[in-house]
Homo-oligomer: A and B are copies of this chain.
Amino acid sequence: MAVYTDVSDEELDAFIASYAIGELTSFKGIAEGVENSNYLVHTEAGRYILTLYEKRVAPQDLPYFLSLMEHLADRGISCPLPVRDREGQALKELAGRPAALITFLEGVWVRKPSIEHCAGLGRALAQFHIAGSDFPMHRANSLSLRGWVGLFDAIRDKADGIIPGLKAEIEGELAELGAQWPADLPLGVIHADLFPDNVFFLGERLSGLIDFYFACNDMLAYDVAVCLNAWCFEPDGSFNITKARALLENYEKERKLTAAELDKLPLLARGAAMRFLLTRSYDWVNTDAGALVKQKDPNEYLRKLRFHRGVKSYREYGIGEH
């Protein structure tokens, strides 16, 4: 829920005029997404999303994100496509921020994903992984093991103020993850943030993926683990094995998980839970009231982490022997 940067009339007019998309007919800030400022733009030529990249996004990473969208769209993945201006530029500047205009993707994100939605997500995730396999650019995952340690250092002294005992629990967990984190699983481009609000549906049919601003090169199965956390827990904290099975079985219709990936899945899911536990904890102690962002509860991801710590085998995620 965020529009951080206001755009003046003159700047907006000049920006729109730099594209061959006709006159502006509507311009509204969107109350979704917490990283960037997003506007819904209607012009005579159609509908677009205008994104102003705020300080959390490193400007040097933007060519990776925008090129990835073009690469994926070229390979038939339904996702927004950066619009190039009259001079062929996709990455521009507006109101002192890096900015891009991207095509509007139809669909609605589901607040409460069903089994069918999880099935669609699994298939789309694997298609995304396959489509990204020949993407030539590289971006390290800044929110993997080393990034977690850095985040924890920044909140260490405040951790027990968020949740009593959190400091010791994260310390122990980070030590175990550091000792066991795999280095030999299949790599590729991952979305890294494929939560329900980044996946659009029209009814039961998945209509596309959005928000590639955490995409990076990392283990493909880590992306699966992020989705298990984001899609397969119920609001009461319970793990829905039927949704997990739907997600994993449909993923494997497009891309088989290797035996090593399956073995490491519980560990990857712990790591994926740690990543969101840490960023949410960091935001919890660092977001000022003026930021107009709804705080997300770190506790939710601590509970997910604990769940996966108790998982002995990937079979507990609902799929059988390979």
The reply to whether A8 and B112 form a contact with Cβ atoms under 8 Å apart is yes
CA distance A110 to B27 in the complex (A): 10
Which residues in B have their C-beta under 8 angstroms from that of A111? Answer: 6-9
**Is A234 interfacial (CB-CB < 8 Å)?**
no
Per the 8 Å Cβ criterion, residues 176-224 of A in contact with B are: 202-203
Cβ proximity bits A279-322 to B, threshold 8 Å, 1 near / 0 not: 00000000001101110000000000000000000000000000
Please encode chain A, from 232 to 276, with 1 for each CB lying within 8 Å of some chain B CB and 0 for all others: 000000000000000000000000000000000000000000000
Contacts of A110 in B (CB 8 A): 9
Interface stretch, picked from A18-26, A51-59, A83-91, is A18-26
Distance of A3 Cα from B111 Cα, bound (Å): 15
Q: How many whole Å from A107's CB to the nearest CB in chain B?
A: 7
Tell me whether B27 and A30 are in contact (CB under 8 A).
no
Task: Write out, one digit per residue, whether chain A residues 100-140 have a CB within 8 A of any chain B CB (1) or not (0).
Answer: 00001011101110000000000000000000000000000
With a cutoff of 8 Å between Cβ atoms, the chain B residues found around residue A8 in the complex are 111-112
In the assembled complex, A61 has its CB within 8 A of some CB on chain B: no
Q: Please tell me which one of the listed residues B3, B25, B40, B290 contacts residue A28 in the complex, with CB atoms under 8 A apart.
A: B40
Q: Which residue of B lies closest to A11 (CB)?
A: B111
Write the chain B residue with the least CB distance to A287.
B289
Is the CB–CB distance between B29 and A32 below 8 Å? yes
Instruction: Determine whether A163 belongs to the interface, using a CB cutoff of 8 Å to chain B.
Output: no
Most chain B Cβ neighbours within 10 Å, of A6, A31, A104, A110: A31
Set B9, B24, B26, B32: member contacting A112, Cβ < 8 A: B9
Q: How far is the CB of A158 from chain B (nearest CB, A)?
A: 18
Contact A107 B29 (CB under 8 A): no
Decide yes or no whether A143 CB sits under 8 A from chain B. Answer: no
What B residues does A32 contact at CB under 8 A? 28-29
Q: Is A151 an interface residue (CB 8 A)?
A: no
Q: From residue A81, how far is it (CB to closest CB) to chain B in Å? A: 17
B202 near A23 with CB under 8 A, answer yes
- Does chain B have a CB within 8 A of A42? yes
The answer to the question of A1 belonging to the interface, with a C-beta cut-off of 8 Å to chain B, is yes
* Cross-chain contact A3 with B31 (CB below 8 angstroms): yes
Provide the bound-state CA to CA distance between A42 and B40, in Å.
Answer: 12
Closest to A28 in B: B30
The answer to whether the Cβ of A2 comes within 8 Å of any Cβ in the partner chain is yes
Contact A25 B106 (CB under 8 A): yes
* Minimum Cβ distance to chain B for residue A49 (Å): 9
Contacts A23-B202, A23-B203 supplied; 7 other A-B pairs, CB < 8 Å = A1-B31, A8-B111, A10-B112, A24-B202, A26-B104, A40-B40, A290-B294
Q: 5 A–B contact pairs at CB < 8 A?
A: A6-B111, A9-B111, A24-B108, A26-B104, A292-B294
